Amino acid sequence: MKRTFTLALSLVLMSVMALGQSLEPFFSSKPGRVLVYENLDADGNLISVNADSLAVMTGDFEEGQATVVSTIINQGDSSRFRSKVLMKFDRGEVIMDMAALMEEAMQEGMRQSMDAMGGGEDAESQAAMNEILDRTTVTGECRGIPEELSVGMELTDYEIEIKVMFITSKMGCRDRKVIGRESVTTPAGTFDCYVVEETMTAKAMMVNEKTRQVSWYARGIGLVRQQTFDKKKLTGTTILTSIR
């Protein structure tokens, strides 16, 4: 009887300890690991490839941050765009610093536009670009996937506002919900995923767009697959093709 009681107590303690441990977040936290994704159009044609790898991480998933290096290669002209994506961790939730990412993207976009027009890196072009950037603000953050998920759970909405000179545009994500849990097989392997559905919105001057996204997330990896729809029509797919 005493041995049985001791064994039962041990099992209870082990269960409590397991529940108290932090769950693995939906993020690839292994330094040097590269996640390679293919971005496809509605017909399954390759548009671009992007490779993401963790460069630096400080703190932990309760309160820390990381820098992910993302390289995008366009299929049409083989052009490359490399950026450093800042991530923040808030009690296991991975949050992208969208303001910093969009600022860097706008800088690169303006540089490419000036190069295409023959402006290059001359002092006058640089001064014009700096003036635009000085009058540009990006506010808001891209909410992520919390470490504790369950089917039917509703996730936090978010909105990002971009002001360039006198033009204001907004990007948002709402109606976020965990709609299922599935095993997903891609060229990179088979993953146990939570399925998240959300509505993406974009407003700028006369533009008012709304699309639906369905995303599959795995612990220790992050995004495994994502599909974008205009109403019920599939417009694009992103899929994890390799982990190296």
Residue 64: name the closest of 91, 83, 84 by CA.
91
Question: Structure tokens of 222?
Answer: 């992050």
Spatial strand order in the sheet of 233-243: 93-96, 80-90, 63-74, 46-59, 34-41, 233-243, 222-230, 207-218, 189-204, 167-186, 158-164, 136-139
Among 80-84, 101-105, 146-150, where is mean pLDDT lowest? 101-105
Among 17-31, 47-61, 221-235, where is mean pLDDT lowest? 17-31
Cβ-contact 87, 64 below 8 angstroms: no
For the cut 80, the answer to whether the pLDDT of residue 183 exceeds it is: yes
Element (H, E) at 31: none
Report the distance separating Cα 206 and Cα 187, nearest Å.
Answer: 41
For the cut 50, the answer to whether the pLDDT of residue 10 exceeds it is: no
Higher pLDDT, 53 or 96: 53
Pairing between strand 93-96 and 136-139?
A: unpaired
Tens-place pLDDT, residues 127-167: 776 777 677 777 777 888 999 999 999 999 998 888 887 78
Q: Give the mean model confidence (pLDDT) for residues 212-229.
A: 97
Cβ-contact 197, 213 below 8 angstroms: yes
Where do the DSSP E strands lie in the chain? 34-41, 46-59, 63-74, 80-90, 93-96, 136-139, 158-164, 167-186, 189-204, 207-218, 222-230, 233-243
Element (H, E) at 100: helix 98-116
Q: What is the chain's mean pLDDT, rounded?
A: 83
Confidence of residue 106 (pLDDT cuts 50, 70, 90): low
